[in-house]
Amino acid sequence: MTFEDRVGALECFKFTRRQARFVVTVALIGGYCLRRQYAEFSRIQYGRNVRDFLDALVADGLARRLMFRADRGHVYHVHSKSIYRALGQENNRNRRSVAPQLVARKLMALDVVLMDQTIEWFATEADKVDLFTTRYGVPFNVLPQRRYESQAHDQRAVTRYFVDKLPIGLRQPDVYFIFLATGSNDDAFEPFLVDHAPLFARLPSWAVVIVRPAHVLESNWWREVFQRFVRGRRAPDSVTHADLRWFFEIRQLIDCGRLECISIEVDAPRFRQLHAILSTPENDRLYADWLRRGPAALAGRDPSLDRSVDGFRPRQGVLVMRRLKYDYRHLENIVGVCR
């Protein structure tokens, strides 16, 4: 479903078009919103119309109202299964209640979307996967992903894509990847870049947008990490024939679900590094041939694969720093639910 399809799907709830668009945006981005966010989205003055609409969602059982400190407003959680079912998202986890720290991140993500409504935003896993595999022709294996083993013996492992659950923006030709900075230095930033590196390499133009709340000071640390990443300092100076063979062997184990054969401490970091370099259409075809023919597929290959390193250089990658106007730390003081 497109965004407009989802807006149309809420006709049965008797929302105005503007209200329906807001509910769709909130449900897909994180499930949580504030009164000021509805006013900003709708470009109307904060007042009775804003309060009446959100309070009506609560009265109709479509949302919950969470209590802040006495000197703050309310948070609204759009949780109704009927809303998400109409959007084709009945099992979307945004319906679930989460810890206050996660509420803050969800509200930050919504503020990011509200900063520029001219951008087309993709929020769900399925929408993001479809964007890159269909519109950009990117293979599934280069998308950021995690494999989760099932606890039940009769069920297969599940692969999830874009597990950070942050919105991705598109305004042709640029693709915007959002990273929420909740501190001046964030250990998750470099792994975020590494996870996305194979995807970056397939895009004509992309940017990483560091978004920080008002209380987080700007730091050159973010730029230093990003520049080091773009210059490829994480990549080895060369990739050997043995590296390629090892990469294929580990990839086969992962594809077969034999994760117990892989060392998290030793193999996983090396595999991520090589994955960022060797994940190309040419090597995808070579891997398929290697699966069929074994070592013979690599016979005659140039043992020096420096060209793969050069070919990985992220294209048109830029870093954008954005500061939100708000401080979200008071969300830790949520004390209950207002009926």
Residues 318 and 210 in one domain: yes
Residues 82 and 157 in one domain: no
Residues 147 and 11 in one domain: no
Residues 190 and 157 in one domain: yes
List the one residue out of 321, 316, 280, 98 whose CA is nearest residue 189.
Answer: 321
10-residue mean pLDDT profile of the chain (339 residues): values are 94 94 97 95 90 95 82 86 95 92 92 92 96 93 85 76 95 92 80 91 91 87 88 57 86 87 78 76 85 84 43 64 85 51
Residues 318 and 179 in one domain: yes
Do the domain assignments include residue 265?
yes
Q: What pLDDT was estimated at residue 12?
A: 92
The verdict on pTM exceeding 0.85 is no
Q: What pLDDT was estimated at residue 238?
A: 58
Do the domain assignments include residue 260?
yes
Residues 188 and 318 in one domain: yes
Q: What pLDDT was estimated at residue 216?
A: 85
Residues 83 and 165 in one domain: no
The parent domain of residue 88 ranges over 3-96
Q: What pLDDT was estimated at residue 309?
A: 32
Residues 278 and 222 in one domain: no
Burial 127-152 (b: 16+ CB within 10 A, else e): bbbebbeeeeebeeebbbeeeeeeee
Residues 219 and 127 in one domain: yes
Q: What pLDDT was estimated at residue 337?
A: 45
Do the domain assignments include residue 102?
no
Residues 31 and 139 in one domain: no
Residues 11 and 81 in one domain: yes
How many domains does the chain contain in total? 3
Residues 147 and 218 in one domain: yes
Q: What pLDDT was estimated at residue 234?
A: 44
